[in-house]
Structure formats: structure tokens, C-alpha cells
Amino acid sequence: MTAVSSAKRPRVRFAPSPTGFLHVGGARTALFNWLYAKKYDGEFLLRIEDTDRQRSTDESTRAIFEGMEWLGLTWDEEVVYQGANVARHYADAHRLLESGAAYRDFTPQAELERLRAEAEARGDAFKFDRSLADLSDAELAQRLANHEPYAIRFRVPEGTTEWPDLVHGRIAFPNKDIEDFIILRSDGTPVYNMAVVSDDIAMGITLVMRGDDHISNTPKQILLYRALGADVPQFGHVPMIHGTDGKKLSKRHGATAVGDYQHQGLLPQAMLNFLALLGWSPGDDTEVMTVPQLIERFSVHGLHAKAAVFDTKKLEWMNGQHLAQIPVAELAAIMAPLVERAGLSTVADLEARHEWFCGVLELLRIRARLTDEIVQQAKPFFVESVEYDPEAVSKQWRDAAATSDILDATRERLASLEAWEPAAMEEGLRKLAEERGISGGKIFQPLRVALTGLTVSPGIFDVLRYVGRDRSLARIAEAVAYLRQST
């Protein structure tokens, strides 16, 4: 591993192509760069690589912005659009041409395709032969005078190109295995490697951290940096993300876009925590971390070289941990719009009943993994009447006559209480059970169905407290009427 240089303030970047939504793999790469910048007092930049005009869309660009903003991965300077820098890319390619580090290639596309097909027929990998582009000064002048189209190819020198990768250690490529690659097409547009290097130099990038599917691009880019007389940044190539079946993460594994998870009941801080652990470890068994803790503990020494596994169940577990741990007032601010969207209340009403709402959330969040589950579990605390789950009725209200009698006695005992507090409720109902010679469960379980319509809920006395006296007594009366009507 290479130590972080203190000579320059770190400048890192995330450079997605706007040809689709923000993928979880891209979000993870952005996160690692963002954590690095935060940890080492650096700057995190965003570049939209929109030079592919046919596939780049404004919709995809917006999706990238929205996904990063939801995650809180804010960038430090104005967004750079690669397509706006084509003139510089062109100029840099011609600088290499003038220095002799690159040359013109007039070879027609049809000829290149024929040579490639012949190589494939022989079972060989096609590699451009520099001699194809050799022209005398007179031939070159004539072709330029005729305005014949040409590409510009980089002249790969002899030797080996290597670098100390922050993740993989030393990586080396024999230059003989790298063909003289095109840096400017015959239509004057730059290829990926040329545009990236030109932009990274202009942006002062000191570390390029990206997926390890880019490793094969790195030797070409290092050669371009050197030929342009620029400092070569550090490189770190993080592992790919696989599904639980060990194959590269794709739509067959479920949602792969960050925006999908944003609308599936996940907290952004939980998503960040989960993504951080895909290819990085804090050095111990700690898994649940806040964003400040991630920044504090982040180190390139914790980056892994092996592929990471995206496990949706682990993500939901992680979300549940964050739901349980964040300050309840912060959770209330997140949940209020969701409760309003579900038609259960309004944000204004919840703000007016803030203490009550926080109390309800304290009951529910320990039983939920997703914010959507909290909304579902919150329904009994808001609606006037509950719907009875058929399984709950068959299990807890099997003997309708006996159950209605118990619930009627329960309502009377609760109505007689002076204080609507859990301790008084429990004392009163346990005493009722003792008087009737039955266990407390014979009262509590039918009562739970009457109050919530379900067999599972927070503690029954907490439910009574937060549903409230009048609404609780009314629901028990409704249950009694329902049971007596069914007998």
C-alpha cells in the first residue's frame, strides 16, 4: 500500500456516464472517494462523462444528482461536464502529435476491419501494426493537402508500465502487449482514455479511485500523463460487486439503482454504511457505523482486493439497526412525510403531537427493518377502526362467546381506571385474570386483536397508552359487537 501523500491537498473525483441510473456500484465508488476526501481534508469533485451524445441523457444526469444528494455525497466544486471540454481534449491530442508521442493514422476503417477479421480467423488477437501508418513526408503532405481523414494514435514506447495500486499493490503491464491506441478519432472526437486524462489533469486530480474493471485502461492513461508532462496521480482499483450467487451484480439480483432503494424504505445513512462495507473493512468486526464514524475510520489500507457481495437481506438488517439507533426526533422528521403520504395523518398534526408521535416511533422502530414497515405498523395508532386479520380471528377469537365475554369484562375494568398508564392497566387486567382463574395471556391476546387487528404488536399496555383511552375502549366495544354478531 502507498501512504497518502501530504504534499498536495487530495483531489478525488467520481466520473459517471449519464447513460442510466446511478448504479449501486457507482455509488460505492463515489462513497469511497467522498470518504477519502473527508478523511484527508481533500476535495471531492463530480464529472459527468457525457461525450457519448447518443447514449447520454438529461434524465440519467438528474438521476445521478438525485441519488448522490439522497446519499449526502455532496461535491465541492461546480460539476464538470466532459462534453464541454472537447476542444481541450483535441488540443492535448495534437500536442502529443507535435511532440512525436503520437502519429496520424490514415488507415481506412474497412482495412482495419479486414485485418481484424483475418486475425480472428487465425485465432490471434488483433493488434495494430505501426508500419501501416508509416508515410513518407511527401505522402503525408499530399494526404493532408487532400484533407483525407485520419485518426491520431499514441505511440506506445518500449518497456513496462507499472504503478503501486492502493488496493492491489504493484501492477505491471509489458508495453509490448499494448497496441498503439487511438486517442482522437478521424471525426476529431476524443476517445475515453484521452478525454479522461485531459480532464483529470485540468481538474488537478491526485488520486483516481474506481472499479477494478478499469485496470486495463490505467497503463494507457499513465503513458498519456507522462507524455503530456503531467504528474501521474495515485490509482486505486476497488473490487467489483457480485450478487449472492457470485456473479456480477445485475438486474436479475433485484434492484441495482440507488433510486430504487431510496423508495423502498431505506435510510440514506444505512445505505452508505452498507455500501462502505462492500470492499472495505474498518479493521475489526464493527459493522454498524454512522457517517461521521465511517469518515473517522476510513483508510485505504482497509480496501479489499476480492469481489464484494451485495446481500439485500444484510442491507435490510443494516437499515433496521440504523432505524433503531438514530435519534427519535430525527426519525420523526423522516417518517412524518411518509405517514402523511399513506393518508394516516398530516405533517402539521404530527408536529403538533410531536411527543406522542416520537413515543409511537419508539415502539415501532425496534420491530422494523424498513420505514415502510413502520408506516404499516403505525396504522392502528391512527385509524378510527381496525380491520381484523382472518388468521388472528381464527387463532385468538376461536370461541366467540367466551372471547366476547372476556373482552367486555376487559373494557369495563379498563374504563374504571383513574390513570391511563401502563402500570395501572397491567395491575387491573392481571387482577381480572386472577379473578376469572385464567392466565394473563387469555386476556392480552384477544385484546391485542381488538386493538390492532393483528396477533403481533408492541407491548399491549404501550398500545393501549398510545391508542388512547377513548379510542381503545371504543375498539374493544366494536370487537365485542363483532363477536356477538358472529355467534
**What is the per-residue pLDDT across 359-407, written as a single tens digit (0 to 9) for each?**
999 999 999 999 999 999 999 999 999 999 999 999 999 999 999 999 9
Residues 99 and 231 in one domain: yes
From the number of C-beta atoms within 10 Å of its C-beta (0-12, 13-18, 19+), residue 78 rates as exposed
Q: Do 374 and 403 belong together in one domain? A: no
The answer to whether residues 364 and 482 belong to one domain is no
pLDDT at 5: 43
Quick one: 362 and 476 in the same domain?
Answer: no
Burial label for 92, CB within 10 Å (0-12, 13-18, 19+), is buried
In which residue are the cell numbers 438529461 written? 58
Q: What digits encode the pLDDT tens for the residues 85-108?
A: 999 999 999 999 999 999 999 988
Residue 241 grid cell: 460487486
Backbone φ, ψ for residue 163 (5° rounding): -155, 155
In sequence order, what DSSP letters do the residues of 125-180 get, joined into one string?
PP---GGGG---HHHHHHHHHTT---EEEE-PPSSEEEEEETTTEEEEEEGGGS--
Say what the pLDDT of residue 108 is: 87
- List average pLDDT for each run of 10 residues in the chain, which is 487 residues long: 58 94 93 97 97 85 95 97 96 97 92 86 85 87 92 97 97 96 95 97 98 96 98 96 85 74 91 96 95 97 93 95 96 97 97 98 96 96 95 95 97 96 97 96 97 95 97 97 90
Total domain count for the chain? 3
Instruction: Measure the CA–CA gap between 461 and 420, rounded to whole angstroms.
Output: 10
Do both 342 and 419 map to the same domain?
A: no
Q: Is 313 a known active-site residue? A: no
What CA dihedral angle connects 448, 454, 459 and 464, to 10 degrees?
-50
219 and 350 belong to one structural domain: no
> Are 146 and 89 members of one domain?
yes
pLDDT at position 111 is 85
Catalytic residue among 251, 314, 395, 442: 251
Is residue 375 domain-shared with residue 428, that is, in the same domain? no
Residues 344 and 468 in one domain: no
CATH number at residue 467: 1.10.10.350
Q: Which of 361, 381, 401 is the last residue of a domain?
A: 381
140-165 residue pLDDT tens: 999 999 999 999 999 999 999 999 99
**SS3 readout for 351-400:** HHCHHHHHHHHHHHHCCCCCHHHHHHHHHHHCCCCCCCCHHHHHHHCCCH
Residue 148 covered by a domain? yes
Residues of the chain with pLDDT > 70, as a percent, come to: 98
Whether the Cβ atoms of residue 207 and residue 236 lie closer than 8 Å to each other: yes
Same domain, 112 and 201: yes
Per-residue pLDDT, 76: 97
pLDDT (0 to 100) of residue 3: 41
For residue 130, give its domain range.
85-236
Residue 251 confidence (pLDDT): 64
For residue 249, what pLDDT is reported? 82
Find the farthest-apart pair of alpha carbons in the chain and give their distance in angstroms, rounded: 114
Residues 6+ apart with CB under 8 A from 340: 346, 347, 350
